[in-house]
Amino acid sequence: MKIIFTLSALLIITFVQSQTHRFIYELKYKMDSTESGYEKQNMILDITPKEVKFYGQNLMATDSLNKKFGMNSSYTDMSGQVVKRKVNSFDHENFINIKAGYYSFRTTDKINWMISDEVKKVEHYTLQKATADFGGRSWTAWFCKDIPFNEGPFKFRGLPGLIFELSDSNKNFIYHLLKSETLTRTPSTEDFLESNFGNKAIPINEKQKQKLLLEFYNDPFAFERNTISKTATDLNININGKEIRNVDELNTQTKSMQEVIRKYNNPIEIDKAMHYKINK
């Protein structure tokens, strides 16, 4: 693991309160827990004077390109780990894409850590081990007391130092700190976190979220189905590169999509996972 910052410089900039401290983590995760392969993406942890935000780097990159070149592109983060919270808080605002909608919901996510005496050296950093159960999984974190932020990836915070490494016991989710940056101003995330490229997040609760997910699973192509039902003639609709001309072909695609949803139903908080039934 190559960590691209110097400890001495980081300790100095920590005390400049107007700055934003950005930590970039590599996230490896399994969309299907039964497979050996991983998806990979970089995630950003921004620690501002008032808030902490965690989101996929591709969201920021898409927003930057839109602003630089006058584009109107969008991007959907598939990690399910877009959150923000007040500094020193376990109260989170979570953001999620469901079909064509963008939603936010609030949770309180206290984590009770057990700090071990076990330590290890990574380059010139001394990391200490801590464990916790969270979201239906058992987690191991390695944190550095010399980096004075009690933060880490996603909702994992509350240790006396920055988390450098984090993984669950089954290695479904693995984080490694890659590098840090110091920003002289607090960057705006309004267009890709609080909103998703034109869709402002709609506040919902957990029950409403589950209802939306179930509705999507039961009829993932509801818009296309409605389009077909309103026309008296065959209408060509393209779904994943396949032309759909009638309801029977759409039903076949619906069953295929439902299989995909069930297969990749491996959220980081597995205790909140939807339990989808096979529709006859």
Report the candidate in 63, 64, 1, 61 with the shortest Cα–Cα distance to residue 28: 1
In this predicted model, what pLDDT tens digit does every residue of 110-147 receive, in sequence order?
999 999 999 999 988 999 999 999 999 999 999 999 99
In this predicted model, what pLDDT tens digit does every residue of 169-183 receive, in sequence order?
999 999 999 999 999
Tokens of 207: 């029950």
Q: What is the CATH number of domain 7-196?
A: 2.50.20
- Segments making up each domain of the chain, as ranges: 7-196, 205-272
**CA atoms of 169 and 189, how far apart (whole Å):** 33
**CA atoms of 78 and 31, how far apart (whole Å):** 9
What is the structure's pLDDT at 36?
92
Strand partners, 175: 27, 166
What is the structure's pLDDT at 102?
97
Question: On the CB side of 60, how many CA atoms lie within 13 Å of its CA?
Answer: 17
